[in-house]
Amino acid sequence: MKILITGSSGQLGKTLIEDFKNIRNKNQFKIYTPSRKEFNLSSKSDELESFLDKLNPDWVINCAAYTEVDKAEEEQELAYQINSIGPKTISKALERNKGKMIQISTDYVFSGGKGSPYKPYDKLDPISIYGKTKAEGEDYVISKLKERSHIIRVSWLYSSYRKNFLLTMLKLHQVKGVNKETLKIVYDQISCPTSANSLSKFIWKIILSDKKLAPQIMHWSDAGVCSWYDFAFEIGNLALEKGIIKNKALLYPIRSSEYPTKAKRPNFSLLDCTESWDFFDGQIFHWKIALSKVLGNSRRLNIF
Ligand SMILES: NC(=O)c1ccc[n+]([C@@H]2O[C@H](COP(=O)([O-])OP(=O)(O)OC[C@H]3O[C@@H](n4cnc5c(N)ncnc54)[C@H](OP(=O)(O)O)[C@@H]3O)[C@@H](O)[C@H]2O)c1
């Protein structure tokens, strides 16, 4: 079975590749991990389609995305090309070749106005360009591939790789903590962090249990609920306890209105993951435990 992982240099892509090494019967699978240069989602559609026709993968896990939420407000065309047209082109080729696709999406396809956890089939109402382009990407994939497509929406993804809230906070705690400076962190945006490790295990489960059909639209995060402030607070506590940082900054909770950003973000985008957790049928970790596990692997943390 051939599996193509796009965005293989990103935090989720890297985690998937790392986890693949631990899969039993992995010799039945061959993974392909082209770089952006080899498979660029902003290239012409026929170039991408011909790459896919030649490879003819059984599965594509599309982790490649334009992920800079604020910058997308200015680079709308590029974000649209990568997050909407890219997945559309992949699904067009897979439709022809009878392949399956896992499209990674985001809680930012929702406005945050619902006031209770979002269910997979709730109406999409994004409030940012990033969210809009990801929502359109979802629509294209579903309409082309139907039951051979799986959309997984995740919230607040982090890992020990690349650029994310965890790594930013570790650095800020360490630097600002020297003189006990204060960090202002938003407390009125609520959702739940997702460790790339737990998400990767879920994705491999879907592919390995090919015969048991996973739902078409799924939500995934670790368990629990928190604000960015809570997340930053726990990062400081755990990292200090584990000796990853030597100093901890003081944290001050602020409203989103006191930290203006180019893109609007949902205030309450907690995802209802019950169906996915049932399908996973493995251990689901509270976000604090998942964070502790990532920090436990501190050798890999590249913060300074
Ligand atoms: N990060 C979050 O908080 C978050 C939250 C919810 C959902 N998600 C979704 O989760 C998925 C994985 O995100 P991530 O955090 O792992 O992303 P990431 O670390 O930002 O990595 C993005 C990946 O996409 C690649 N890429 C960017 N533009 C490309 C293009 N034009 N053609 C081909 N590849 C391109 C990057 O390649 P280079 O190395 O060459 O740049 C990189 O490998 C994405 O679908 C994202 O929308 C993320």
Ligand 1 mutation target, pool 6, 36, 231, most atoms within 8 A of CB: 36
Domains in the chain with CATH codes: 2-160+193-223+268-284 (3.40.50.720)
pLDDT one-digit tens code per residue, 133-191? 999 999 999 999 999 999 999 999 999 999 999 999 999 999 999 999 999 999 999 99
Nearest CA, atom 1, ligand 1? 157
Question: Which whole number is the average pLDDT over 59-64?
Answer: 98
For residue 31, the cross-strand partners are 3
Nearest alpha-carbon partner for 104 in 208, 218, 270, 273:
218
Instruction: Supply the pTM of this predicted model.
Output: 0.97
pLDDT the model gives residue 213: 84
Give yes or no for residue 5 having a pLDDT over 80: yes
pLDDT one-digit tens code per residue, 242-291? 999 999 999 999 999 999 999 999 999 999 999 999 999 999 999 999 99
Contact 251, 173 (CB under 8 A): no
Question: Which whole number is the average pLDDT over 70-82?
Answer: 98
- State the maximum Cα–Cα separation within the chain, in Å, rounded to a whole number: 60
Q: How far is the CA of 139 from the centre of ligand 1 (A)?
A: 19
d(CA 79, CA 148): 25
Nearest CA, atom 2, ligand 1? 157
Q: Could you identify the atom of ligand 1 that is nearest to the CA of residue 43?
A: 31
pLDDT the model gives residue 71: 98
Nearest CA, atom 48, ligand 1? 157
Question: How much is the mean pLDDT over the chain?
Answer: 95
Ligand 1 site, CB within 6 A: 6-7, 9-13, 36, 39-42, 63-67, 82, 104, 106, 134, 154-157, 162, 164
**Which whole-number Å values give the CA distances from 3 to 223, 287, 290, in the listed order?**
29, 29, 27
pLDDT the model gives residue 221: 98
Q: How far is the CA of 164 from the centre of ligand 1 (A)?
A: 11
The question of whether 130 is a catalytic residue gets the answer yes
